Amino acid sequence: MQKTLSADLTRVSKDRVKLEITKNNYEAFCNAVGLYNEEFLEALKRSEADHKAGRITKRKSLIEIT
């Protein structure tokens, strides 16, 4: 069953928006955007292990990855 989330969306500037959710909706929000997805959590664990081992690359933008 999908839960409806309520949020306040405010335009901060031309290319920025501010999204506010309540503490009660936080878990549902994380689930909706995939932060509790098992693949995502495994990727975080691998990333943390790489970082601790010194296998990091500094990037100025995520566009450099593509």
Each residue's pLDDT tens digit, 33-50: 888 888 888 998 999 999
With respect to residue 16, please indicate whether it lies within any of the assigned structural domains.
Answer: yes
Task: Determine if the pTM surpasses 0.85.
Answer: no
With respect to residue 21, please indicate whether it lies within any of the assigned structural domains.
Answer: yes
Is residue 48 within 8 A of residue 40, CB to CB? The reply is no
Task: Dig out the tokens for 34 from the structure.
Answer: 């995939």
How many domains is the chain built from? 1
Tell me the pLDDT of the chain (66 aa) as tens digits. 556 667 777 777 888 888 888 888 888 888 888 888 888 889 989 999 999 999 988 888 888 877
Q: What element of type H or E holds 47?
A: helix 38-52
DSSP annotation of 2 reads: P
Q: How much is the mean pLDDT over the chain?
A: 82
With respect to residue 61, please indicate whether it lies within any of the assigned structural domains.
Answer: no
With respect to residue 18, please indicate whether it lies within any of the assigned structural domains.
Answer: yes
Q: In terms of residue numbers, what domain contains 35?
A: 8-56
With respect to residue 23, please indicate whether it lies within any of the assigned structural domains.
Answer: yes
With respect to residue 64, please indicate whether it lies within any of the assigned structural domains.
Answer: no
With respect to residue 62, please indicate whether it lies within any of the assigned structural domains.
Answer: no
**Which sign, positive or negative, has the C-alpha torsion 46, 50, 51, 55?**
negative
With respect to residue 63, please indicate whether it lies within any of the assigned structural domains.
Answer: no
